[in-house]
Homo-oligomer: A and B are copies of this chain.
């Protein structure tokens, strides 16, 4: 993965907000990277560009040897469906689908181009995140941490090579959060590329390196968090 001199701005009236300023970042296949930094520093924006959810104002985004920021909407959706699993900061579960249906959906979308829909795998992934007694509930009938775990299960549905997560333990207590951290380590040990945003020291220090952000720029230094 190669982010080359990427900027993201938002124009509001006469003002221009800079979410990212000339950011460059290389991540090797199979690496585990944690992105840390203050609120508003550009972490989610960076993740959205890497996941192909948003496009940069200028610069280039290459993932898996392919340039993705110039792909058409259709090609980008197809690429995402098979290459990337994303856990959004606020989950974005489909409110009218049950827990199980939300996890089956990425499989159904991918089956349009040849994948298979596997209920057994969907159930197993939900069991792995401790949610198998809530399969037929709607997102509105779950607690905050339960929704977060369903969002994680959905990101794993197609067993993608790249896993991108934005504060995946933000709504979880220490014990439940510990379970989720173990899951990310297992994904990494299975050879997946894992890129996540976290402000939790435990999780940040499990990654192979840290990328520190401040006011839309990447800072020097990738050592463990100490405070």
Contact = CB atoms under 8 A, between A and B. Distances in A.
Contacts of A40: 142-143, 145-146
Contacts of A39: 143-146, 148-149, 171-173, 176
A21 interface: no
A174 interface: yes
Interface string A6-25: 00001010000000000000
A38 B199 CA distance: 19
B37 A171 contact: no
A135 to B, nearest CB: 11
Nearest to A38: B173
B177 A199 contact: yes
A157 to B, nearest CB: 21
Interface string A160-179: 00000011001111111100
Taken together, the copies of this chain in the complex come to: 2
Nearest to A44: B143
Contacts of A10: 141
A199 B38 CA distance: 19
Interface residues of A, number: 34
A199 B174 contact: yes
A178 B136 CA distance: 39
Interface in A149-196: 149, 166-167, 170-177
Nearest to A146: B40
Contacts of A143: 39-40, 43-44
A227 B174 contact: yes
A36 interface: yes
A108 interface: no
13 contacts: A10-B141, A38-B145, A39-B143, A39-B145, A39-B148, A39-B176, A40-B142, A40-B145, A89-B171, A167-B171, A172-B199, A174-B201, A174-B227
